[in-house]
Amino acid sequence: MAFELPKLGYDYAALEPHIDARTMEIHHTKHHQAYVTNLNNALAGGVWENKSLEEILANVSKLPVAVRNNGGGHFNHSFFWQVIGPKAGGSPSGNLLDALNRSFGSFDKFKELFTNAAMTRFGSGWAWLIKSGSELKIFSTPNQDNSLMDLAELKGIPLLGVDVWEHAYYLKYQNRRNEYLAAFWNVVNWNEVAKRLV
């Protein structure tokens, strides 16, 4: 069964003023849709066509680069739309906050380290908070790579990710990635992040 563009759980304008409606619309309907279309085309007629996205990513080193790029793009964006949202931001609580404090010393220190990973990712890519074994770790990946891929530098369960491709922020923030990342903290849906901490 072909992969499909997931619906957003909120309106394109719902993240204003932090992420503008036009960026959200283009990001979802053009960029994410292109990853879905290209992934389906890359898998068409092959033995991987009906596999789950997670299974594909876990074996992506054996597959064409188009599958790595577009499968990663589809997973990363589907994930991203879920961990951001309206009426969000603030700070986490409960087990997630405890885990962040244990791993990084404090929530503020976690934000600093995560932002730094996003700021120092050269070119296009993502910054991630993942659960690797029993530990929480922060790292970044190039292009559309993620921690579910068999070729990932760090493997684990994604808990939070931020897209630092220029298409994610250029209309509003131009080259000011730092301002986009500061705004990002206002749209993080900590309840969704916490659900992934199993």
Residue 67's nearest CA partner among 145, 147, 168, 154 is: 145
pTM for the complete prediction? 0.97
pLDDT at position 198, please?
79
Read off the pLDDT of each residue in 68-96 and give the average, rounded to a whole number: 97
Residue 44 corresponds to which tokens in the numbers above?
A: 């068409």
Query: pLDDT for 134-184, tens place per residue?
Result: 999 999 999 999 999 999 999 999 999 999 999 999 999 999 999 999 999
